[in-house]
Structure 1
Amino acid sequence: MKITQVSEMGERPLVGLLSGMFNNGSNANLVIGPGNDDCAVLDVSKDEYLVVTTDMLHRKTDFPLQMTPWQIGWMSAAVNLSDVASMGARPTGMLMAIGMSPDTPVSFVEEIARGMSDCAKACGTTVVGGDIDTHDELTITGTALGMTKKSRLLKRKGAKVGDKVCVTGFAGSAGAALHAIEKGLDIPESFLNTLLEPYPRITEGQELALSGAVTCMMDTSDGLAMSLHDLADINGVGFRIYESMLPVHEDLGNYVTSDPDEQTDFALYTGGDFELLFTVSPDKLEEARAACNLSIIGEVVEQTVGIRIERKEGTDLSINRKGYLQLGS
C-alpha cells in the first residue's frame, strides 16, 4: 500500500526522504549534510567548521502544562544547544522564531524570551535574532550555530568494535518525571526539572572533543535505545549494554517506581534527557574520564550480535528500536 500521509510514514523515514532530496544539491562548503548527524557541518575557514542545527517545538506535544513560560523558553534553546554539544562545538549564536495566538499576553512572551536568553547565556552564547508571527498554537523554532576546530569535530560515525559505550548524567530521568506528572505522583522539584529545565552538555562536549578519546557521539534527546540504534546503523556495529551499569537516578526509584524492570524501561525507552551518548577507545578511557563525569554502560560489538542488554539476573535481551518520535510513528 502506498504511503500518502506523513502520519503513516513517521519522523525518521520522512527525514530520510527529504534529506535525500536536499543532499542532491551541490555545496562545496558542505561537510555533513541533512539527516546525517545532529548538526549540518560547513567548511568556513582554514581551521574551523561551522555547525548548524534547528528544532521546532509545539505547545501540545512538547511543553507539559506544568511548564512556566520561562521554562518553555529555556527548553526551546536547550534542545538546539544540545545538538551543538554533541558535535563538540562551542555555541556562537541562536536564532529563535515564535508563533503565537494574537491574544497571548506580552508578559508571557517576555518570560519565554527571558528563558531563551538565560539558557543561551548559560551555554556561553546569546540570541542574535529571529522572527515572530501569529499562529493557532504556540510554536517555537530555534536555530543554533557553533564553531569547532576541524581536528576536534565529533560525529555520529566513527565507532569501532571494542570501544566502550558511555553516557553523561542519568538515563530516563526526564521520561520518569513526565510519567510522574501524568500519574500525579509527588516528586522533588530538582527531579522534575530534569524534564522542564534540561541543561545542554556544552562544556562536556567540548572537553570530550579536546580529549581525543571519543570515536563517535550524539545526544539522547529521543531516548537511549533510539540513539543506540541510530549509531549502530551509521557505524555498521552492534552494542552490548549492561543493565547493572545504567545510571539511574535514585529519585526515580524513590518516587516513581522501585520495579527494576520499569526503571530499565525508563532508562532505555524515554526521551528528553539531552545527555551525551558516546564511544571511547579503550586505551583512552582515562582521558575521557578526565574530560567529564561519565558512566560506562557497555561496549561496541560486531553488527551480527545486534543491540542487546544483559540483565542483572543474567538474561540477554534485544533492545528495541523505540523512543520519542513524532508524526504519528
Structure 2
Amino acid sequence: MTRLTAQDFDQELLVLFDAYVHGDLDRRGFLSKAGKYAKAGVTAAGLLAALSPDFALGEQVRADDTRLRAQQLSVPSPAGHGSIDGYLVRPASASPSAKLPAVLVIHENRGLNPHIREIARRLALDGFMAFAPDALTPVGGYPGDEDKARAAFATLEQPKTLQDFLASAQWLESRADCTGKLGAVGFCWGGGMVHTLATRLPELDAGVPFYGNSPAPELASRVKAPLLVHLAGVDERINAAWPTYEAALKSAGAKYAVHQYAGTQHGFNNDTTPRYDAAAAKLAWERTVAFFDATLRSA
C-alpha cells in the first residue's frame, strides 16, 4: 500500500488537523470543518483516521532490539507531581558502569507514546544514554490512545509538569553512569520544553527543539547552552513567534543555529503520520546527532 504524504491532503485540512492535535479544535469541530474535503467515498472521519499516527509505520528500532538495554524508572520530583515515570535506554555494548553522555527526550502533547520511545532507542544506538519521561504520570501515564492522551494532557498543572522535567534532567545528569554532559531534544510541546529548560538549567550542555513554541523574548538572556533549532516550512502557529525570539537570542549573544525545511509541515520528523517528510527528517536527525556528538562528547 502506498504511504500517504502531506501532498495527498489539502493544506487547509492540514491546518485544521494541526488545530485539532493542539486542542484548538475538538473532534466534532474538526469533523464538521473537514467535511468539505471529503470526497471519493472518504468521510471526514476517514480523513481524521488517515492523518492520525500509525505507530507501526515508524518503528525503525524495535523495543526488543538486543543492541539495547531499556528499563522503566521513576524519578523523584518533590516540587512537581511527586514523581515522574520514564523510559531509560542505553546501548547494550556499554558496560553497566560505563559513563555515557545523556539526552533527555521530550514528547509532544500526548505523553510518552511509542514514537517517542522509539526516538530514545535511536539515540541509544548512537551511543547516548537516553531518558524519555512521561508527563502523564500523575494521571496514570500514556493511555495507549492518542485522543485520550491529548485530553489527559490538557488537565495537567503545567507549572508542576515543568518541575517534573527539571527534576528529570537533573536526575539524569547526576547519574553515576553519566559523563556529566546533558542534552535535550523535544518535539512540538517538547520542543517548547527544550527552549524553556535552556532558560532554567545552567547544567544543560545542548538543546534541540523541533518546531517548539518560543519562550518570552526577555528570557533569551538566560540561555547558556548552544541550541540547534529545527522549524517546518509551513507552520505559522510556531514560526510567527520565532523571529522575535531569534532577535533576542542574537542580542543576548546566545549560541544557536536554525534550519527551516522548505515545504514541510509541523511534525515533519514524526514518521507515524502523513506529515512526515523523509528527506527533511533524515537531514534534521543527522544534524541533531552530529550536534550532540560535538557538544556532549567534547572534553
Q: TM-score, normalised to structure 1's length?
A: 0.28
TM-score, length-scaled by structure 2? 0.30
- Structure with the bigger RCO (C-alpha within 8 Å, sep 6+) is 1
